[in-house]
Amino acid sequence: MRTAIIAGEGLLPAALAAGMDEPPLVAALDGLAPEGLTVDLRFRVERLVPFLRALERDGVGQVIFAGAVSRPRLDPALLDEATANLLPRLMAAMAQGDDATLRVVIELFEEFGFSVVGVEQVAPALLPGVGVLAGAVTPRDEADATRAAAIVAALGAVDVGQGAVVAQGLCLGVEALPGTDALLAQVAGIGALRPDPARGRGLIYKATKPGQDRRIDLPTIGPETLRAAAAAGLGGVAFEAGSVICLDLDRMQRLASELGLFLWARG
């Protein structure tokens, strides 16, 4: 049974492909370019059914979604009849949020006979377990992480985001559709509104949404997350242990030490 990676942007698709016993088929939406991989098959959402049938013809039985994907603009003129029949279902899910949309995407792939697997099934080492991976975590950091975790759980319950920044108990920003980079850039520009960093610089916390299907859209962080956190004046990065993908963990640990940040997989 052949595996297909439905690849978004970033390094994750290549990291998964490198660890597979057999080369996967790599498929990507038009306009997306996964780093370090050659795309075998491109597709558009408006032609979803012909794409699924192409996967069948290529002997694919298993798919894994990996990488960042932004919502595409749909061109009604490109719709085929079979995909047009699915569009109301997709549009209704998109109106509810990312998690609802991705659940419907998984359902559609399964209805066509594909097995959908997650990163933790293919490459569990990418999701670190409990521990402080770099630096030191203070009681102030622990309190901020507890506060941030509660905020992220509340956000996730309404399918909004997977991250929050907290310093000294104050929420400096939450993740929404623009993503983690935009959140950290926003925090970097807060200026005088933020509390005195001498009493605690704060942290960004990432976690899954409550009830999220773990086969798709697990939170992902990497070296650039650490650089952005440092630029935002934070003291570290904390995340839900076993539920957040860390790209190039060894490099992340070294970089965290160089930047004076902690990196914490929180249980």
In tens, the pLDDT along 148-191 reads: 999 999 999 998 999 999 999 999 999 998 999 999 999 999 98
Stated as kind and residue range, the H or E segment containing 114 is: none
Q: What is the pTM of this model?
A: 0.91
CA distance 232 to 226: 10
pLDDT of 87: 86
**What b/e readout covers 4-22, taking b as 16+ CB neighbours within 10 angstroms?**
bbbbbbbbbbbbbbeeeee
Q: Which residue has the tokens 């976690």?
A: 207
pLDDT of residue 202 exceeding 90: yes
As annotated, the residues of the chain forming the CATH 3.40.140.80 domain(s) are 127-266
User: pLDDT averaged over the chain?
Assistant: 94
Please report the pLDDT score of residue 191 as a whole number.
Answer: 83
DSSP H or E segment with residue 224: helix 223-231
Looking at residue 33, its pLDDT comes to 86
- On whether the 2-122 domain is CATH 3.40.50.1100, my answer is no
Q: What is the pLDDT of residue 200?
A: 94
Tokens 């991705």 correspond to what residue?
102
d(C-alpha 113, C-alpha 62), whole Å: 9
User: Which carries the bigger pLDDT value, residue 245 or residue 211?
Assistant: 245
Map tokens 């569990």 to a residue. Answer: 124
- Cα 70 to chain centroid distance, Å, stands at 11
The end-to-end CA distance of the chain, in Å, is 36
Going by pLDDT thresholds of 50, 70 and 90, the confidence category of residue 102 is confident
| Topology of domain 127-266, CATH | Cytidine Deaminase; domain 2 (3.40.140)
**Res 60 pLDDT > 80:** yes
State the span(s) of the chain assigned CATH 3.40.50.20: 2-122
By CB neighbour count within 10 A (0-12 exposed, 13-18 middle, 19+ buried), where does 190 fall? middle
Return d(Cα 265, Cα 134) in angstroms, integer: 10
Residue 192: what pLDDT? Answer: 80
Q: Regarding predicted confidence, which is higher, 96 or 185?
A: 185
